[in-house]
Amino acid sequence: MRPGPGGGTDTDRPPTGARSPGGEPALRELDALVDRMDRATGWAEFHGCDEGFHLAAADATGVPAAVAPYAAVVRDPYRYYLPYPMAALRASNEEHRALVRALRQGDAAAAAEVARHRVQSPHRTMFIGLAPAEDPPATT
């Protein structure tokens, strides 16, 4: 064990809030938004909290230059959304919870896997029936 600050060992220290610049305060904000989504009584309320969750997650990265482009990416698809049944939204909120848990544990691989699934899922459910993109012509 390496000595940590103040003479303790690395294992004596609590997790660092996902080892991210936002730390525990940012994770508590994400927890609060997940809890609000759990209590939402309708799609519009859930949607507002969902958007807030994604923007707070971007802000918690500590990469200010990424927040505005990410906000545009988050908001743009909402114009295509039809209200999902609340049961489906509540199930999707479990992924929010899993993301916060992975961030709190400092598990970047688990957080990335949750995020990957969160991006792929809407592509399967929102864009079903759309023609697949054509393969680019082969170059010789």
- pLDDT digits over 90-108, tens only? 988 999 999 999 989 989 8
CB-based burial of residue 64 (10 Å sphere; 0-12 exposed, 13-18 middle, 19+ buried)? exposed
What does the pLDDT read at residue 5?
A: 41
Whether 11 has a pLDDT exceeding 50, the answer reads no
pLDDT tier, 10 (very low <50, low <70, confident <90, very high otherwise)? very low
What does the pLDDT read at residue 62?
A: 80
CA dihedral 116, 24, 86, 124 (to 10 degrees): -10
43 vs 80: which has the higher pLDDT: 43
